[in-house]
Amino acid sequence: MRIFVSLFLIASLFGCRAQSQVNQTALISKSESTANKPRLVVGIVVDQMRYDYLTRFNDKFTDGGFKRMINDGFNCKNNHYNYVPTYTGPGHASIYTGTTPKYHGIIANYWYDKHEGARVYCAGDTLVNSIGTLSDAGKMSPHRMKTTTIGDENRLFTQSKGKTIGISIKDRGAILPAGHSANAAYWFVGDNEGAFVTSSFYMDTMPNWVSQFNASGKNESYLKVWNTLYDISTYTESGADLNTFEGGFTGKESATFPYDLKALSVENGGFEILKNTPYGNSILTDFAIAALEGEALGQDEITDVFTISFSSPDYIGHNFGVNSKEVQDTYLRLDQDIERLLNAFDEKVGKGNYTVFLTADHAAVNVPAYLQSMKIPSGYFDNKAFRTKVKDFMETRFSASGLIENISNNQLFLNHKRINELGLDLATVQEILVNEIIHYENIDKAYTTKAMQNASYTTGIEELIQNGYNQKRSGDVIFVFDPAVISYSKTGSTHGSALNYDTHVPLLFYGNGIKKGSTLKKTVITDIAPTLSALLGINFPSAATGQPLEFVLE
């Protein structure tokens, strides 16, 4: 009996020691795994930022903004979108899901839903309520996005202990990056409100810190004169201030500096005018810094995800064009806002405790009217004339009306029910339509859904179209404009194509786990989420097709 007790005690002792060693090993392993991870991952998306803004305006940037990220981080100089259309909604979804519209389903900002028979908005949701506004501006959610984001995967990995917060001036710029399981997404409403709002998808009442920010008067303080940050004569990297290629504001005769925003706000949507100025970026920066403290981001060893989307550069580019003094001033001011953000991360999260990436949801073309003045092939596409011509052709060719159901986003949607009633073969009708419109002025290419579904493209514009094609949501025929041809006004810039002026955007990585360096190797936008997933040691977003950029990571 004594022998048995002794053996039991010895076994228990060794068992306790073994268990103690296991516990210590687990603690050490946990300590190492969390110590090497950033406490905060920050995604910065600049709406409508061309890559060449980094190089064109480089000499006038401060050392603490873009240059800090470039010099102390990693610069992917040949980064591109690998699908079309290059719009805001698909761009933000693709950055954070690591895949293209083919899988995540956000095929445009607005699109024709052929099952509902109606136009839908990428973030619109009639089943939720507005929080912080009496308008419908808060009736938004990510429910149309089919896949997870990196924020979702981090929430799953951390058992919902890691936060995800998304902020932007645009609702879709806050909602789609934050994902489905986000703690919150906030966006800015202009008009007579000038406030950040949210949706009942995330919460029932607005947090105190947001209400306090909205009531602080900060947003109203930006209704002031917008003049150039530096002497306008030094803005030699952009075109003349007075030209015929810019839109401007209602109530001001010319699109030239300075702009009295308080006076102009009366005829330009009240606080809405701030979205069209660099002060929209400054407001968002103020709000981001408030969110750091209000949401206690990066304050423990469990990684949080913070998505920040600067929307104002897109509004300004659409209004004034990519070669304008207004765009140059916007980026010189944004550089200072980026510096403010990085300094706030240093102070509130700690140097070495956070990781940041910066990219864009798309770039933009030069104003075609300006390109024409430079004898560069370009032009404008008349959508109304195109619709009339196509419908007339179909009625004549098939002796029937109602065959075209919708034309939008460079896609033609056929009325399948009508085609069946007439006993027509759908594939044949699609092919006849392609063979017709390919001869129209300013149309360079056209494809049927059969081609998108059956072929496998690995290069060129065709690959990008296929990556943007979603079998359930896309149309029957897809067409492509000639280079630098847009469906837009004769002033201001736009985007959406598969050409370099729309696809080539910055990609900068900085901070915890990131090497210093640069590459001219081609990277694609869908590589961002897998790279961050690898850095955090978490699962890739559910449909990610991109690859981790190993050369970026330490």
Nearest alpha-carbon partner for 142 in 92, 95, 87, 103: 92
CA distance 38 to 35: 8
Residues taking part in catalysis:
88
Which tops the pLDDT comparison, 31 or 455?
Answer: 455
3-state secondary structure of 345: helix
pLDDT of 10 higher than 70: no
Tell me, rounded to whole angstroms, the distance of Cα 540 from its chain centroid: 19
Q: Are 450 and 474 in contact (CB under 8 A)?
A: no
What percent of the chain has pLDDT above 90? 94
Banded pLDDT at 159 (limits 50, 70, 90): very high
pLDDT of 5 higher than 50: no
Residues 6+ apart with CB under 8 A from 391: 404
Which tops the pLDDT comparison, 10 or 417?
Answer: 417
pLDDT for the residue numbered 35: 56
All structural domains of the chain:
40-301+313-351 (3.40.720.10), 379-486 (3.30.1360.150)
pLDDT of 329 higher than 60: yes
Partners of 516 in the β-ladder: none
pLDDT for the residue numbered 36: 87
Q: Are 114 and 120 in contact (CB under 8 A)?
A: no
Tell me the average pLDDT across 71-89.
98
Q: Are 279 and 137 in contact (CB under 8 A)?
A: no
Look at the block and give the residue holding tokens 């938004």: 140
pLDDT for the residue numbered 475: 98
CA distance 13 to 17: 6
**195-199 β-sheet, strand order:** 130-131, 195-199, 184-189, 164-168, 304-310, 40-46, 354-360, 507-511, 74-76, 517-519
What percent of the chain has pLDDT above 70? 94
pLDDT tens by residue, 267-283: 999 999 999 999 999 99
Q: Are 58 and 338 in contact (CB under 8 A)?
A: no
Banded pLDDT at 23 (limits 50, 70, 90): very low
pLDDT of 417 higher than 50: yes
CA distance 464 to 112: 20
Banded pLDDT at 394 (limits 50, 70, 90): very high
pLDDT for the residue numbered 157: 98
Average pLDDT, the chain: 94
Residues 6+ apart with CB under 8 A from 198: 131, 132, 138, 184, 185, 186, 187, 206, 210
pLDDT of 20 higher than 50: no
